[in-house]
């Protein structure tokens, strides 16, 4: 029996994580946060005292690292048995992830780990290349985006709410730099996958986006 897959791709800060988790919960499907795999690899490489520019070393770590995911209200990730959830969401981790994710060797090594998430009753897969590379045959594909200014503002508000000092201009610039790196890399660049429905969430609430995606699957 074919296991249904819903892919949700798009740039950072478009709301993919929140939407994917909510939809997975409503459908009672499994959830793959592929960004957290690249984030975990960046953390593993830095913990090993490695240099993110050393492709050889980073891809070896990609091969060896043991990851376990516990999908509670928040995602909990264990790297070689250690809970790294607190470091996972940091801006520095996201930027480092975008560097290691650009290496073709690294992406090839992480492909099967991601495909293994496709299990009954279904999977919601969130990332940059879910509908284009990892699950090209997915039944349902969404490309979720929002303007860089809006994504920067959302991220800024999240940080301020958490009591973390933040600079809106700097955050927006970092988002634009990350978009460019994710779009211009040679393998699996961020693009709108064939057959995907594009949703611009700039002027939508999260609930409206969730409703649109649920209507697609229903
Ligand atoms: O979605 P995120 O912010 O957690 O992703 C962090 C980085 O990982 C992102 O800048 C690019 C990379 N990534 C990727 O290359 N492919 C994916 N499927 C998911 C994330």
Looking at residue 130, which CATH number applies to its domain?
Answer: 3.40.50.300
- Is the minimum distance from the CB of 98 to ligand 1 under 6 angstroms? yes
Domains in the chain, number: 1
- Is the minimum distance from the CB of 12 to ligand 1 under 6 angstroms? yes
Contact 131, 9 (CB under 8 A): yes
Which residue's alpha carbon is nearest to atom 11 within ligand 1? Answer: 98
> Residue 174 sits in which domain range?
5-217
Residue among 31, 58, 94, 138 whose CB has most ligand 1 atoms within 8 A, to mutate: 94
Residue whose pair of structure tokens reads 């809970």 in the numeric block: 83
| pLDDT under 70: residue ranges of the chain | none
Residue among 98, 103, 184 whose CB has most ligand 1 atoms within 8 A, to mutate: 98
Contact 31, 124 (CB under 8 A): yes
- Is the minimum distance from the CB of 94 to ligand 1 under 6 angstroms? yes
Task: Return the pLDDT at 182.
Answer: 87
Task: Return the pLDDT at 124.
Answer: 97
- Is the minimum distance from the CB of 172 to ligand 1 under 6 angstroms? no
How far is the centre of ligand 1, averaged over its atoms, from the C-alpha of 123 (Å)?
18
């Amino acid at each position: 029996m074919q296991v249904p897959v819903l892919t949700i791709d798009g740039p950072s800060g478009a709301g993919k994580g929140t939407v994917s988790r909510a939809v997975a919960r409503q459908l009672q499907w499994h959830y793959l946060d592929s960004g957290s795999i690249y984030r975990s690899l960046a953390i593993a490489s830095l913990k090993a005292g490695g240099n993110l520019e050393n492709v050889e070393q980073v891809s070896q770590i990609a091969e060896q690292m043991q990851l376990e995911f516990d999908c509670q209200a928040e995602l909990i990730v264990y790297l070689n048995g250690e809970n790294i959830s607190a470091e996972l969401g940091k801006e520095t981790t996201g930027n480092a992830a975008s560097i290691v994710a650009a290496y073709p060797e690294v992406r090839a090594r992480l492909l099967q780990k991601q495909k293994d998430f496709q299990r009954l009753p279904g999977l919601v897969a969130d990332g940059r290349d879910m509908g284009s590379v990892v699950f090209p045959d997915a039944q349902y594909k969404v490309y979720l985006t929002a303007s860089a200014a809006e994504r920067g503002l959302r991220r800024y508000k999240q940080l301020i709410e958490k009591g973390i000092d933040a600079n809106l201009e700097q955050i927006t610039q970092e988002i634009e730099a990350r978009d460019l790196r994710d779009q211009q890399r040679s393998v699996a660049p961020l693009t709108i996958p064939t057959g995907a429905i594009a949703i611009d969430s700039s002027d939508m609430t999260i609930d409206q986006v969730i409703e649109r995606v649920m209507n697609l699957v229903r």
